[in-house]
Structure 1
């Protein structure tokens, strides 16, 4: 992995961003472990992610507040690093709501379970924003095993055609990756990759970064976002993260590689670097650890509370403007259930 780590990893974050990176890495790991523990009892779990905390935190911190994030259903840590309430970020795996947070308030699209379909949405939104003179960048999280899907090529085609400043962030599975999947000279017979290769050939080689190095990811995504914004062009960044734990709670295939077995975990490596930079000390480490434990306890308590759904919500989102028939049906339901209010 040393060959994949950027030599200078420029631009280097400001001290407050460095501390934010460490803070969200620690909090993300703790909350992910908490949901994994609770999954065996009741409630949701964010553990379907590959625990690519460095990829998620580094990529999100590289964006401007006005930029958009398009996650898959696995980017739980990216969501909370973007400011979303940890409980709201669990709405989808919990089976509560399709999207438990306000996408416009956080500039984070709803989590997407179907493979790579969120890329086309990102391209459409970004293109529409630029037609309205809103110079934003959209970051799309994509799994490496999805790059051969037809939707991936279609999205890259639209991104190139419309010159949409979208950063496509591909996270490969380290054990089963195609190291130069976006290389324009590799595997020429695979037509599904023709458009992505054309994108890379037009804008230069896609940077390949260590997916466990949050500062390397930050530098790569920052550079890609700046170039996408300045040139109104789509960009691709590839990362090689380790899968720390199994893919799911029932997995016992041992496919993952334990990061702790390789010169320290990403959090430990980052902590050592920040101590060398002089921006982290024992007091700050304790403070972040205490914050992470408090957030885990709060999440645990709120997940344990018995939900009290309002059955009348069935009528709230059928149409933007409820029809007279829906108003009548909801009023009848509220009357029968003894619920206050109506449409």
Structure 2
């Protein structure tokens, strides 16, 4: 098994002398972004438990993978997130209020800011990968200098869409970057029971595309690997498959109980204590004189206020209506959808179905 590419060790030290590190301002911004989205994530879980938001997919522990990869993009690049990649979407320019709206069941939560190409979160597993290849191919045909970044988890690599996307991208050398956050589990199924492949990155060879296996909790490794992938894509050298090894501290969603299939507390404690992405970057910044406790307190206070402001904006929206689920799906509703719509809007006027 190939070793993980690592730049910043868990002790906050550089693993080796290396060129191409982010500058000091970017390092600080990386840290601030990771702290902000972690606070956002924790706030969202609390809101769900309070009944103020629907089922939510947490990401705490995966901040370096999402923040580092999104920060390597340009504003015009395409972002194809799953239902868990709201940290990446926020970093790329999506407002936190819109993310709150999405989890509150508002269609408006899928609208990205003007001028940004952030696709709605994709719930079906791996389908966004094919879409990312399509937009990348279109960009290439139009001689645009944009890449398409598709996020997915290790479970998505067991889907046919994964292989179709990589195959098409390899044949047409599309400027697509496939970013796998390998959390080790597809809900309750460990990777060892999904595939005989020892790594996900090695699958790149089957499609003759570039593959990288990195420490997904090392934001420097993530950012630098993504930068190189973008450069290759824009130079016409084709797609890249990145496997970022990371771990999510919480459940698959707020509707899941991970204790039923793994020792969640022990695993989370081990990763949090030994490999936490935020802690290791803070150690490095403190050693460089770029961060201290005073800055930490001030930033956490400001970030909390920013999140509360976004929440107030989201909660000021009228409550979403169940009948909105029938919009924007079909040009003309099917007879089954019409029946379902009538059942919802006129529950007392249903005809009795004959036996």
The TM-score with structure 1 as length reference comes to 0.79
Partner of 1:140, secondary structure, is strand
Distance 1:174 1:132, change over 3 A: same
Q: 1:261 to 1:114 in 2, by over 3 A?
A: closer
**Corresponding residue for residue 115 of structure 1:** 125
Give deviations 1:18-50, integer Å, cap 9, x for gaps.
121111100000010001001012233684133
- Say whether 1:78 aligns with 2:88: yes
1:1-343 mapped onto 2 (5 Å cutoff): 4-6=5-7, 7-8=15-16, 11-44=20-53, 47-51=56-60, 52-97=62-107, 99-102=109-112, 105-174=115-184, 176-177=190-191, 179-183=198-202, 196-199=204-207, 202-204=208-210, 206-249=211-254, 250-253=256-259, 254-256=262-264, 257-258=267-268, 261-263=272-274, 265-305=276-316, 307=318
Coordinate RMSD, CA, aligned: 3.0
Number of corresponding residues: 305
CA distance in 2, matches of 1:170, 1:318: 29
Superimposed CA distance per residue, residues 230-265 of structure 1 (whole angstroms, 9 cap, x where no aligned partner): 134011110111121122334141554225643363
**Distance in 2 (alpha carbons) for counterparts of 1:131 and 1:242:** 37
Kindly indicate whether the alpha-carbon contact (under 8 Å) linking 2:59 and 2:249 is maintained by their aligned counterparts in 1.
Answer: yes
1:210-236: CA deviation from partner (whole Å, max 9, x where unpaired)? 121111111111111111221340111
For structure 2, list consecutive stretches of 5 or more residues without a partner in the other structure: 8-14, 193-197, 332-355
Q: Deviations over 1:26-76 (max 9, x none)?
A: 000001000100101223368413321111000000112221111011111
**Alignment-derived partner of residue 341 in structure 1:** none
DSSP 3-state at the match of 1:105: coil
User: Hey, what does 1:329 align to over in structure 2?
Assistant: none
Offset at 1:97?
0.7
- What does the per-residue CA deviation read over 1:147-194, in whole Å, with 9 as the maximum and x for residues that have no partner? 12111111111111221010100111236346413325xxxxxxxxxx
TM-score scaled by length of structure 2: 0.76
Q: Which one scores higher on RCO, CA 8 angstroms, separation ≥ 6?
A: 2
Alpha-carbon distance change, 169 to 44 in structure 1, aligned in 2, over 3 angstroms: same
| 2:34 aligned counterpart, secondary structure | helix
- Which whole-Å CA distance do the structure 2 matches of 1:311 and 1:170 have between them? 34
Distance 1:183 1:317, change over 3 A: closer
